Amino acid sequence: MLRTSVSDRARGVAAGVVLITAALLAGCSAEQSGQGAAQGASAGSKVDERAWPARTPVSGLTKGMVLPIEGYLISYPETVAWQRAQQSLWKRCMQRYGFNSFNPPEPGMFPPPGYDDANMARRYGISDAKEAARYGYHLPGGRGEPPVWEPGQGAERAVFSGSGGQVESGSYKGAEVPEGGCQGEVKKKLGRISYTLASKVEFASLEESRNVPAVRSAVSDWSACMKSHGYRVEHPYKAPNLISTLGSETPSSAETALAVADVGCKKSSRLVEVWFGAEKKIQDRRIEENQLALDEERKKNDAVLKTASRSNDY
């Protein structure tokens, strides 16, 4: 089944394992410039869905925390399902014109830290003491990322996009090419995931909660705690500005020391717990105020995902 119901999602049942394994992320980024073959991913690699982020964080200070609006956001597994359908439809269309090696790298090999755009695992900044001690502000497992891929030059690209020297008067080797090429055909068929209201509720609670006295107090306590560790920083979101190694391959000892203090102070100030509680209250209210519109928006995306599911089952 492609997706669970909103009520299932809202229950926040932990599914899968949240840890992003070093093995999974060990692949190197690479560029491809030819006929639809990806480099940088090992041949025959399979996506390990157990490495995807869990719906509910399973470790750290956000363990067990799911915001009410997450039931209306599109999750990482759902975007992967949509991508799989997109690629499947692209490939089938391209095969009609003889491009049997048109084969983008499969999605899902390099998951994000968060299950959805709420990014609970790192929403209030880093929040896992063990990860902080080992990785600082870096993501666990290194900097591996999906290979770069694009359609091959010449006829492949022309048929895919519907324009280029090889497509003449809307046809390729006598066969009619859809408007906008295979890409245009799939775009029309599949539709696009889009949510603005759910997104608005998701981020508005962050903004509004900043002025909640309990949150301000917890932030102040966190800052005082950081000062006792030798760091002058007023807000957790500014903590990474104190180090210069974010772009480096591995964290420095200064980075991990800062990260450990950061998470430790979040724990002693109860910052994450307080902030989450404030956001939850705000979101409950906003969801109630916008219930019908939110349901409607979710239904539209469910229809897109249902189309995706049918394409994947094909």
Partner 1 sequence: MFARWARGIAVTGAGFLAVMQGGVPAQAVSTSYESDVCSSSGNQYCFEIYYNSAGATTGYSYSSCFLANQSISDHYGYSPNGVVLVRYIFRGGTDRITGSNPGCTGGEGDGIALKNEAASVVNNECSVNNIVYYNSGYQGTSQTITPGCGSDWPATNLKAELKNENASHKRV
Closest distance of CB 133 from partner 1, Å: 15
Distance, in Å, from the CA atom of 132 to the CA atom of 26, rounded to the nearest integer, reads 19
Q: Which residue has the tokens 């102040």?
A: 220
Closest CB to partner 1 among residues 36, 174? 36
Q: 118-134 in b/e burial notation, b at 16+ Cβ within 10 A?
A: bebbbbbbbbbbebbee
Closest distance of CB 199 from partner 1, Å: 5
Closest distance of CB 181 from partner 1, Å: 9
Closest distance of CB 254 from partner 1, Å: 7
The residues pairing with 125 across neighbouring beta strands, listed in sequence order, are 123
Closest CB to partner 1 among residues 174, 281? 281
- Which residue ranges make up the site for partner 1 (CB under 8 A)? 29, 31, 33, 38, 74, 76, 79, 82-83, 86-87, 90, 104-107, 110-114, 116-119, 122-123, 125-126, 137-139, 143, 145-151, 160-161, 163, 180, 183-184, 187, 192-193, 196, 199-200, 202-204, 206-207, 235, 237-238, 240-248, 254
Closest CB to partner 1 among residues 58, 185? 185
Contacts of 282 (CB under 8 A, 6+ apart): 204, 205, 208, 209
User: What secondary structure, in 3-state letters, does 159-206 show?
Assistant: HHHCCCCCCECCEECCEECCCCHHHHHHHHHHCCCCCCHHHHHHHHHH
Closest distance of CB 100 from partner 1, Å: 18
Closest CB to partner 1 among residues 12, 114? 114
Closest CB to partner 1 among residues 199, 312? 199
Q: Which residue has the tokens 């299950």?
A: 115
Closest CB to partner 1 among residues 227, 237? 237
- Of 181, 112, 106, 190, nearest to 149 by C-alpha is 106
Closest distance of CB 284 from partner 1, Å: 18
Please answer whether residues 253 and 259 qualify as being in contact, where contact means their C-beta atoms are separated by less than 8 angstroms. no
